[in-house]
Amino acid sequence: LNFAKKYPLLIEAIYSRSKDIVDRMVVQEELDTKRSRQEELQRKERLLRQQLDVAQEDLERQTKQFEALGDSLVQLKQSEKDRNAELVEATRQLDFMKADKTVKDRDYNEALDAQRQAVKPLNETERQIDLTNERIEFAEEKISQCL
């Protein structure tokens, strides 16, 4: 303690220098900690930016795929509309053909009936001729038997 009373300036100088050194060390530690933290944050930022770039590229790729699928869907819908129009036209033509067939079947059946009606007198006449021929043959036989 006597030393401190004899050399107060020296003690004050040692104390203030020690305090400055400790303060600088604390500041340096804080600075090193902040630098370390900043480097860590910058590293994380770079990593996150890379992930963001990859995510954006993936998003762009998926957006293009989505747009391509949308275009494909539009084409498929148009194709479906075209097919439906073709189906409607084919159905319409089938209905016309069925109606035409019905008319032709009716005309055919009427023609068959007309033919049957027309052939009836012919058949009756042929039957009469056959009967007459049989009678003639019978009469000729009778005549030949009589002679």
Q: What is the rounded CA–CA span in Å between residue 99 and residue 96?
A: 5
Mean residue pLDDT of the chain comes to: 94
Q: Assign 2 a pLDDT band (cuts: 50, 70, 90).
A: confident
Indicate the pTM of the whole model: 0.47
Q: Furthest-apart CA pair in the chain: how many Å?
A: 201
- Is the CB of residue 4 less than 8 Å from the CB of residue 11? yes
Structure tokens of 31?
């600075």
Q: Report the percent of the chain where pLDDT is more than 70.
A: 99
Q: How far is CA 97 from CA 27, 94, 105, 108, 120, in A?
A: 101, 5, 12, 16, 34
Give residue 106's pLDDT.
Answer: 96
